[in-house]
Protein backbone atom coordinates (compact mmCIF):
# COMPACT_ATOMS: atom_id res chain seq x y z
CA UNK A 1 0.00 0.00 0.00
CA UNK A 2 2.80 2.37 0.94
CA UNK A 3 4.65 1.56 -2.28
CA UNK A 4 1.58 2.39 -4.38
CA UNK A 5 1.18 5.72 -2.61
CA UNK A 6 4.73 6.75 -3.46
CA UNK A 7 3.89 6.57 -7.16
CA UNK A 8 0.87 8.86 -6.89
CA UNK A 9 0.71 12.62 -7.34
CA UNK A 10 1.65 14.75 -4.35
CA UNK A 11 -0.87 17.58 -3.92
CA UNK A 12 0.27 20.75 -2.15
CA UNK A 13 -2.83 22.86 -1.42
CA UNK A 14 -2.69 26.53 -0.46
CA UNK A 15 -5.46 28.58 1.14
CA UNK A 16 -6.68 32.05 0.21
CA UNK A 17 -6.40 35.24 2.23
CA UNK A 18 -7.78 34.91 5.75
CA UNK A 19 -7.96 31.13 5.53
CA UNK A 20 -5.60 28.36 6.56
CA UNK A 21 -4.80 24.73 5.92
CA UNK A 22 -8.02 23.90 7.78
CA UNK A 23 -10.01 25.01 4.68
CA UNK A 24 -9.06 21.79 2.93
CA UNK A 25 -10.22 19.27 5.56
CA UNK A 26 -12.83 17.68 3.25
CA UNK A 27 -10.39 17.43 0.34
CA UNK A 28 -7.78 15.97 2.67
CA UNK A 29 -10.11 13.13 3.66
CA UNK A 30 -11.01 12.41 0.03
CA UNK A 31 -7.38 12.42 -1.10
CA UNK A 32 -6.02 10.34 1.75
CA UNK A 33 -8.86 7.84 1.40
CA UNK A 34 -7.85 7.50 -2.27
CA UNK A 35 -4.23 6.99 -1.22
CA UNK A 36 -2.91 10.29 -2.60
CA UNK A 37 -0.20 12.27 -0.84
CA UNK A 38 -1.40 15.70 0.22
CA UNK A 39 0.16 18.58 2.15
CA UNK A 40 -1.62 21.65 3.50
CA UNK A 41 0.36 24.82 4.08
CA UNK A 42 -0.40 27.59 6.55
CA UNK A 43 1.08 30.73 5.03
CA UNK A 44 2.70 33.19 7.40
CA UNK A 45 0.16 34.72 9.77
CA UNK A 46 -2.54 32.23 8.72
CA UNK A 47 -4.04 29.10 10.24
CA UNK A 48 -2.05 28.07 13.30
CA UNK A 49 0.95 30.27 12.39
CA UNK A 50 1.04 32.84 15.19
CA UNK A 51 2.77 35.64 13.26
CA UNK A 52 0.93 38.97 13.52
CA UNK A 53 -0.34 39.61 9.95
CA UNK A 54 0.24 43.35 10.43
CA UNK A 55 3.97 42.64 10.38
CA UNK A 56 3.91 40.76 7.05
CA UNK A 57 4.64 43.42 4.44
CA UNK A 58 6.05 41.49 1.49
CA UNK A 59 4.71 38.72 -0.74
CA UNK A 60 7.92 36.76 -0.23
CA UNK A 61 7.55 36.86 3.55
CA UNK A 62 3.88 35.81 3.38
CA UNK A 63 4.73 32.83 1.16
CA UNK A 64 7.89 31.76 3.01
CA UNK A 65 6.32 28.60 4.55
CA UNK A 66 5.27 27.46 1.06
CA UNK A 67 8.61 28.27 -0.56
CA UNK A 68 10.51 26.53 2.24
CA UNK A 69 8.36 23.42 1.83
CA UNK A 70 8.68 23.30 -1.97
CA UNK A 71 12.44 23.79 -1.66
CA UNK A 72 12.64 20.75 0.61
CA UNK A 73 11.06 18.42 -1.97
CA UNK A 74 13.00 16.15 -4.26
CA UNK A 75 13.45 17.58 -7.76
CA UNK A 76 10.92 15.17 -9.26
CA UNK A 77 8.27 16.32 -6.75
CA UNK A 78 8.47 20.09 -7.23
CA UNK A 79 5.46 21.90 -8.65
CA UNK A 80 3.60 25.19 -8.55
CA UNK A 81 0.61 25.91 -6.35
CA UNK A 82 -2.59 27.36 -7.66
CA UNK A 83 -3.00 30.47 -5.58
CA UNK A 84 -6.41 32.02 -5.10
CA UNK A 85 -7.26 35.53 -6.41
CA UNK A 86 -8.67 38.09 -3.98
CA UNK A 87 -11.32 40.75 -4.05
CA UNK A 88 -10.78 44.51 -3.90
CA UNK A 89 -11.09 46.94 -0.99
CA UNK A 90 -14.60 48.11 -0.22
CA UNK A 91 -17.34 48.30 2.32
CA UNK A 92 -17.35 44.53 2.75
CA UNK A 93 -13.96 44.55 4.49
CA UNK A 94 -12.70 45.44 7.94
CA UNK A 95 -9.31 47.03 7.35
CA UNK A 96 -6.35 47.14 9.74
CA UNK A 97 -3.67 49.83 9.84
CA UNK A 98 -0.82 48.15 11.68
CA UNK A 99 1.64 50.88 10.67
CA UNK A 100 -0.70 53.74 11.56
CA UNK A 101 -3.60 55.54 9.87
CA UNK A 102 -1.23 57.60 7.72
CA UNK A 103 0.16 54.43 6.08
CA UNK A 104 -1.49 51.99 3.66
CA UNK A 105 -3.62 49.21 5.20
CA UNK A 106 -1.71 46.18 6.41
CA UNK A 107 -4.60 43.70 6.82
CA UNK A 108 -8.14 43.09 5.69
CA UNK A 109 -10.89 40.61 6.44
CA UNK A 110 -14.44 40.20 5.18
CA UNK A 111 -16.89 41.56 7.72
CA UNK A 112 -18.24 38.67 9.76
CA UNK A 113 -21.87 39.40 8.93
CA UNK A 114 -21.11 39.24 5.18
CA UNK A 115 -18.80 36.24 5.06
CA UNK A 116 -21.48 33.63 4.37
CA UNK A 117 -23.25 35.82 1.78
CA UNK A 118 -20.07 36.54 -0.17
CA UNK A 119 -17.70 33.60 0.32
CA UNK A 120 -19.78 30.61 1.38
CA UNK A 121 -23.31 31.19 0.03
CA UNK A 122 -23.58 27.65 -1.44
CA UNK A 123 -21.61 25.92 1.31
CA UNK A 124 -23.14 23.89 4.16
CA UNK A 125 -24.03 26.05 7.15
CA UNK A 126 -21.72 24.09 9.46
CA UNK A 127 -18.73 24.83 7.20
CA UNK A 128 -19.39 28.56 7.06
CA UNK A 129 -19.83 28.51 10.85
CA UNK A 130 -16.46 26.79 11.24
CA UNK A 131 -14.85 29.27 8.86
CA UNK A 132 -16.27 32.24 10.77
CA UNK A 133 -14.61 30.88 13.91
CA UNK A 134 -11.20 30.40 12.25
CA UNK A 135 -11.01 33.18 9.64
CA UNK A 136 -8.20 35.67 10.30
CA UNK A 137 -7.18 39.04 8.84
CA UNK A 138 -4.90 38.64 5.84
CA UNK A 139 -1.74 40.66 5.09
CA UNK A 140 -3.07 42.74 2.20
CA UNK A 141 0.06 44.88 1.86
CA UNK A 142 2.07 41.74 1.16
CA UNK A 143 -0.39 40.76 -1.57
CA UNK A 144 -0.65 44.17 -3.24
CA UNK A 145 3.15 44.28 -3.51
CA UNK A 146 3.32 40.93 -5.32
CA UNK A 147 5.05 40.89 -8.70
CA UNK A 148 5.24 37.98 -11.12
CA UNK A 149 8.09 38.40 -13.59
CA UNK A 150 8.00 36.73 -16.97
CA UNK A 151 10.95 34.51 -17.72
CA UNK A 152 12.09 31.24 -19.19
CA UNK A 153 10.61 29.27 -16.27
CA UNK A 154 7.18 30.95 -16.36
CA UNK A 155 5.57 28.20 -18.42
CA UNK A 156 7.71 25.36 -17.10
CA UNK A 157 4.92 23.94 -14.93
CA UNK A 158 1.54 23.30 -16.62
CA UNK A 159 -1.20 25.46 -15.10
CA UNK A 160 -4.91 24.77 -14.98
CA UNK A 161 -7.71 27.07 -13.89
CA UNK A 162 -10.91 25.98 -12.17
CA UNK A 163 -13.61 28.54 -12.88
CA UNK A 164 -16.19 28.89 -10.11
CA UNK A 165 -19.44 29.98 -11.74
CA UNK A 166 -21.27 31.24 -8.62
CA UNK A 167 -18.30 33.10 -7.17
CA UNK A 168 -19.20 36.38 -5.45
CA UNK A 169 -15.57 37.33 -4.78
CA UNK A 170 -14.21 36.83 -8.29
CA UNK A 171 -17.11 37.25 -10.71
CA UNK A 172 -17.11 34.94 -13.77
CA UNK A 173 -16.27 37.88 -16.07
CA UNK A 174 -13.28 38.76 -13.88
CA UNK A 175 -12.11 35.16 -14.05
CA UNK A 176 -12.50 35.19 -17.84
CA UNK A 177 -10.32 38.31 -18.02
CA UNK A 178 -7.63 36.62 -15.90
CA UNK A 179 -7.75 33.51 -18.09
CA UNK A 180 -7.43 35.62 -21.25
CA UNK A 181 -4.52 37.61 -19.83
CA UNK A 182 -2.49 34.53 -18.85
CA UNK A 183 -4.01 31.49 -20.58
CA UNK A 184 -3.61 28.20 -18.66
CA UNK A 185 -3.20 24.87 -20.40
CA UNK A 186 -6.72 23.84 -19.37
CA UNK A 187 -9.83 25.47 -17.94
CA UNK A 188 -12.37 23.48 -15.92
CA UNK A 189 -15.77 24.80 -14.87
CA UNK A 190 -17.24 24.12 -11.45
CA UNK A 191 -20.72 25.04 -10.21
CA UNK A 192 -19.68 26.41 -6.85
CA UNK A 193 -19.22 29.51 -4.75
CA UNK A 194 -15.79 30.98 -3.89
CA UNK A 195 -15.11 28.01 -1.60
CA UNK A 196 -15.51 24.79 -3.61
CA UNK A 197 -13.59 22.88 -0.92
CA UNK A 198 -16.78 23.34 1.13
CA UNK A 199 -19.58 23.65 -1.43
CA UNK A 200 -18.43 21.09 -4.04
CA UNK A 201 -15.65 18.95 -2.48
CA UNK A 202 -16.31 15.79 -4.51
CA UNK A 203 -16.35 17.68 -7.82
CA UNK A 204 -13.24 19.67 -6.86
CA UNK A 205 -11.42 16.49 -5.85
CA UNK A 206 -12.31 14.91 -9.19
CA UNK A 207 -10.99 17.89 -11.14
CA UNK A 208 -7.73 18.02 -9.16
CA UNK A 209 -7.08 14.34 -9.85
CA UNK A 210 -8.03 14.80 -13.50
CA UNK A 211 -5.65 17.75 -13.80
CA UNK A 212 -2.83 15.75 -12.17
CA UNK A 213 -3.36 12.85 -14.60
CA UNK A 214 -3.43 15.16 -17.64
CA UNK A 215 -0.17 16.73 -16.43
CA UNK A 216 1.48 13.31 -16.41
CA UNK A 217 1.12 12.43 -12.73
CA UNK A 218 -0.33 9.09 -11.63
> Cβ(211)–Cβ(160) under 8 Å?
yes
Give Cβ neighbours of residue 123 (< 8 Å, ≥ 6 apart). 116, 193, 195, 198, 199
Residue 151 binned pLDDT confidence (cut-offs 50, 70, 90): low
Q: Are 43 and 216 in contact (CB under 8 A)?
A: no
Taking a C-beta distance cutoff of 8 angstroms, is the pair 18, 109 a contact? yes
What is the domain extent for residue 156? 2-214
> What is the CATH number for 185?
3.40.50.1820
pLDDT of the residue at 87: 37
Q: Is residue 88 pLDDT above 60, yes or no?
A: no
Tell me how far the alpha carbon of residue 144 is from its chain's centroid: 16
What local confidence, expressed as pLDDT, does residue 81 receive? 29
Going by pLDDT thresholds of 50, 70 and 90, the confidence category of residue 153 is low
**Range with the poorest average pLDDT among 7-16, 43-52, 183-192:** 7-16
pLDDT of residue 90: 53
Q: What is the CA radius of gyration of the chain?
A: 17
Domain count of the chain?
1
Amino acid sequence: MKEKRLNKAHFVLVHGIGGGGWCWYKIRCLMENSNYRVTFIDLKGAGIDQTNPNTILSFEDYNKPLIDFLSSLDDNEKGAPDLSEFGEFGDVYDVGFGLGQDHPPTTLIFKKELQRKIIYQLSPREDSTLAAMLFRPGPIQALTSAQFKEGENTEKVPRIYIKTTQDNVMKPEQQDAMIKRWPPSKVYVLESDHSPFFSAPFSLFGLLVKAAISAGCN
